[in-house]
Chain A
Amino acid sequence: GAGVSQTPSNKVTEKGKYVELRCDPISGHTALYWYRQSLGQGPEFLIYFQGTGAADDSGLPNDRFFAVRPEGSVSTLKIQRTERGDSAVYLCASSPSGDSTDTQYFGPGTRLTVL
């Protein structure tokens, strides 16, 4: 079946601009996660959704970052007033439920470059 998809695959923007990154999870998965991966590092947690609600947003670095999942399926990560330090690969993952034993299935990522 279809895996997790993310669009766009690459995004280049200028400092100060607004960007939106989209994630389409595996159909039927109630849990959705966003991570950020910098070069040479492991992914770092940003936010976790259970259904439509953000159950844990403790990883969002500041109030320029915001994410929504209005219908419990597709999610959008929004970054305002982008900074060069926001450049990274943004990964989305989904899992069947919110159980910590679940496998999280990752999308291919969106590579964000802030000039």
Chain B
Amino acid sequence: GDSVTQMEGPVTLSEEAFLTINCTYTATGYPSLFWYVQYPGEGLQLLLKATKADDKGSNKGFEATYRKETTSFHLEKGSVQVSDSAVYFCALNEFTGGGNKLTFGTGTQLKVEL
């Protein structure tokens, strides 16, 4: 079945550092790919998405490119801020046989320090 693998956290960075959170997936077809973020004390919210190969999703300075050849969707940001501290979840949705569901990775906690 479908699965998502994320790098384990916590990831601790200094403010203005470069961020990469790796995400790879397994799927039988052509899924849509998502990054969701959960800030402390808040609910899950969409950060960005890409729905076909080579698409780049971007939002709030974060970017991720859908790489079908490497089955990856790595999250990057050039300069992180303390306010980016949160848990980041990579997810995929592959509509098969009438089912429609997100399959999530285990999440990566990011801590940004001054």
A residues adjacent to B (C-beta < 8 A): 31, 33, 35, 40-45, 48, 50, 55-56, 58-59, 91, 93, 98-101, 103-109
Contacts and interface: CB of A to CB of B under 8 A. Distances in A.
B103 interface: yes
A33 B51 CA distance: 20
Interface string B94-106: 1100111111111
Contacts of A98: 95, 100
The 6 lowest CB-CB distance pairs between A and B, nearest first, are: A42-B104, A100-B95, A45-B101, A56-B99, A106-B44, A100-B93
B101 A59 contact: yes
Contacts of B79: none
Contact of B100 (A43, A56, A107, A109): A56
Q: Is the interface of B mostly helix, strand, loop or mixed?
A: strand
Nearest to B89: A42
A109 B106 contact: no
Contact of A42 (B45, B101, B107): B107
A98 B36 CA distance: 19
Interface of B: 4, 31-32, 34, 36, 42-46, 49, 51, 89, 91, 93-95, 98-107
Contacts of B104: 42-44
A100 B32 contact: yes
Nearest to B34: A103
Contact of B51 (A31, A101, A109): A101
15 contacts: A33-B100, A33-B101, A42-B107, A43-B104, A45-B101, A55-B98, A55-B100, A56-B98, A100-B93, A101-B51, A101-B93, A103-B49, A104-B102, A105-B46, A106-B43
B27 to A, nearest CB: 11
Contact of A41 (B31, B46, B94, B107): B107
A41 B106 contact: yes
A100 B93 CA distance: 6
Given A42-B106, A91-B44, A107-B43, A99 B99 contact: no
B104 to A, nearest CB: 3
